[in-house]
Chains A and B, each alone.
Chain A
Amino acid sequence: MTAGDNQYTAGGRLRHLLTTENLSRDTLTHILDTAESFIDFGQREIKKVPLLRGKTVVNLFFEDSTRTRTTFEIAAKRLSADVINLNASRLSTNKGETVLDTVRNLEAMHTDLFVVRDSQSGAAYLISQHVPEHVSIINAGDGRHAHPTQAMLDVFTIRQHRQDFHNLSVAIVGDILHSRVARSQIHALNTMGVPDIRVIAPRTLLPTEVERLGVHPYTDMHAGLEDADVVIMLRLQVERMQGSLIAGEREYFNLYGLTRDKLQRAKPGVLVMHPGPINRGLEIASDVADGDHSVILSQVTNGIAVRMSVMAILMGGRQKPDR
């Protein structure tokens, strides 16, 4: 049993979102289509719908991430849920309480949905195995394993600009080894039928046997960007790196930083993406991050719609226990 197997109920309804692995194309498309209908909320007087009224969402963050937590919080509030943010690393886990004890306590307060972020791979999956039937879990990033909503908002952003996935070349550049985002993106893009997924990184930042994920590895960025339709830059996670995996920041930028010059290799209408926060001048040049090809800020906006969609789909369609 893996995280991918624990996402659906016996009846086939999506109950948890833990990983994009083993997620069906139907589910993925349903999430993206529903997100589409949440996109134009900006024009409304009241930027809320009552779908999750009376539901309690707990953002349980064992690892700090203001940006991700904020978008989940906004998403839940726009669905009219009550939201509680817990930065658990500063709470009871410091007092010796285990993660599961923390969750059981919050459950006793009638939480309906946990959004879980942890530096340990498998945290959301572990919690999903121990919550009662009416509680759902969204993985908001676990260690090196997965960050499914980020991958979905990236796929959503690509879909806004490219209708047909069946002739796309998508290049993911940077620290593939430590990146849960890259892993989730690769699964999602494979599921959507993208035929050419490339990963570009120094050998030290590529997982061994990365080809088994269904990607083409490149260590030369110029070759890897040739005729790409989409370039996804990853954040260089300096804080996760132990030892000297890169020679130096200047050399890294020279070899793997996205510059106008390197971008010339890609297709003329190429999309430049980045999950944020960006390290300007380290993995991406400022003029590219702010340039015409960049859709980085629409990724942020889309992130709210995609997270609303996931929450709405997980929380809907459940017979109340007393009926």
Chain B
Amino acid sequence: MNGSRPDIEEILNVLETGLQDMLTLDPLLVGIHTGGAWLAEHLHHRVRLKEPTGYLDIGFYRDDFTRIGINPRVKASHLPVDIDERHIVLVDDVLHTGRTTRAAMNVLFDYGRPRSIILVVGIERNGRELPIQPDIVGMHLRLSATQHVKLHGPGELSFTISEKTS
């Protein structure tokens, strides 16, 4: 670990400001399990929305299922309302390869046909493997391939950057 800590308050401030314009569209906040769900929950406290936060677990949609199997901690996804024709704010803690976002969009479309989806991430880092880009970003980071950024929670949130051990 190199001790560098992205400031979570600053990230939440940036995201809150970025969301203001679309609040009139009455969006549904949906967090990706687990880090994205924590971040969505904290964002939900800051913006005024009618419905509670939705949660997605992408465990059944991962593209590496054949290699690594089912995550023993996979949870049921939960969306509080029908998402047909709704504007969805998809929240994740870190955008890296883009594979999680791809899987999350597939999950959403199995629940219905949203009017629109925007992608909100706490940290955008380099290393994309799919043509997926965020709409609102808390912080941009350039990391080496061996570095790893992780959100800790759920109560008090904090990001840490560490060297991959493997």
Closest residue of A by beta carbon distance from B69: A317
> In the complex, A264→B75 CA distance in Å?
38
Once A37-B59, A44-B111, A45-B110 are accepted as A-B contacts, the answer to whether A30 and B76 lie under 8 Å apart by CB is no
A39 touches B68 (CB 8 A): no
> In the complex, A116→B84 CA distance in Å?
41
Once A45-B112, A49-B60, A51-B60 are accepted as A-B contacts, the answer to whether A316 and B75 lie under 8 Å apart by CB is no
Question: Does any Cβ of A come within 8 Å of B74's Cβ?
Answer: yes
The minimal Cβ–Cβ distance linking A29 to chain B, given in whole angstroms, is: 9
A312 touches B76 (CB 8 A): no
Once A37-B75, A44-B110, A45-B111 are accepted as A-B contacts, the answer to whether A50 and B60 lie under 8 Å apart by CB is yes
A318 touches B66 (CB 8 A): yes
What residues of chain A lie closer than 8 Å to B74, measured between beta carbons?
34, 37
Q: Which of A40, A44, A316 contacts B65 (CB 8 A)?
A: A316
The minimal Cβ–Cβ distance linking A214 to chain B, given in whole angstroms, is: 27
Question: Does any Cβ of A come within 8 Å of B159's Cβ?
Answer: no
> In the complex, A66→B57 CA distance in Å?
33
B68 touches A317 (CB 8 A): yes
Residue among A39, A44, A51, A316 having the largest count of chain B Cβ atoms under 10 Å? A316
User: How many of A's residues come within 8 Å of B, CB to CB?
Assistant: 25
What residues of chain A lie closer than 8 Å to B112, measured between beta carbons?
45
The minimal Cβ–Cβ distance linking B131 to chain A, given in whole angstroms, is: 20
> In the complex, A161→B117 CA distance in Å?
38
Closest residue of B by beta carbon distance from A30: B72
Closest residue of B by beta carbon distance from A317: B69
What residues of chain B lie closer than 8 Å to A318, measured between beta carbons?
66-67, 69
The minimal Cβ–Cβ distance linking A35 to chain B, given in whole angstroms, is: 10
Closest residue of B by beta carbon distance from A312: B70
Question: Does any Cβ of B come within 8 Å of A33's Cβ?
Answer: yes
What residues of chain B lie closer than 8 Å to A39, measured between beta carbons?
76
What residues of chain B lie closer than 8 Å to A244, measured between beta carbons?
none
B66 touches A320 (CB 8 A): yes
Q: Which of B68, B70, B78, B84 contacts A34 (CB 8 A)?
A: B70
The minimal Cβ–Cβ distance linking A249 to chain B, given in whole angstroms, is: 44
B111 touches A316 (CB 8 A): no
What residues of chain A lie closer than 8 Å to B84, measured between beta carbons?
45
B70 touches A317 (CB 8 A): yes
B110 touches A36 (CB 8 A): no
Q: Which of A13, A40, A317, A319 contacts B76 (CB 8 A)?
A: A40
Question: Does any Cβ of B come within 8 Å of A313's Cβ?
Answer: yes
A36 touches B76 (CB 8 A): yes
Residue among B66, B67, B109 having the largest count of chain A Cβ atoms under 10 Å? B66
B72 touches A50 (CB 8 A): no
Which residues of B from 99 to 114 have beta carbons under 8 Å from A? 106, 109-112
Question: Does any Cβ of B come within 8 Å of A48's Cβ?
Answer: yes
What residues of chain B lie closer than 8 Å to A13, measured between beta carbons?
69
The minimal Cβ–Cβ distance linking B106 to chain A, given in whole angstroms, is: 7
B70 touches A313 (CB 8 A): yes
Question: Does any Cβ of B come within 8 Å of A46's Cβ?
Answer: yes
Closest residue of B by beta carbon distance from A79: B60
A50 touches B111 (CB 8 A): no
What residues of chain B lie closer than 8 Å to A51, measured between beta carbons?
60, 65, 70
A319 touches B67 (CB 8 A): yes
> In the complex, A50→B58 CA distance in Å?
11
Q: List 19 A-B contacts (CB under 8 A).
A: A13-B69, A36-B76, A37-B74, A40-B78, A46-B109, A46-B110, A49-B60, A49-B110, A50-B60, A51-B60, A312-B60, A313-B70, A316-B65, A316-B66, A316-B68, A317-B67, A317-B68, A317-B69, A319-B67
Tell me the B residues contacting A by CB distance below 8 Å: 57, 59-61, 65-70, 72, 74-76, 78, 84, 106, 109-112
* 8 more CB-based (< 8 A) A-B contacts, given A37-B57, A51-B70: A30-B72, A39-B76, A40-B76, A46-B109, A49-B60, A316-B66, A317-B68, A318-B69
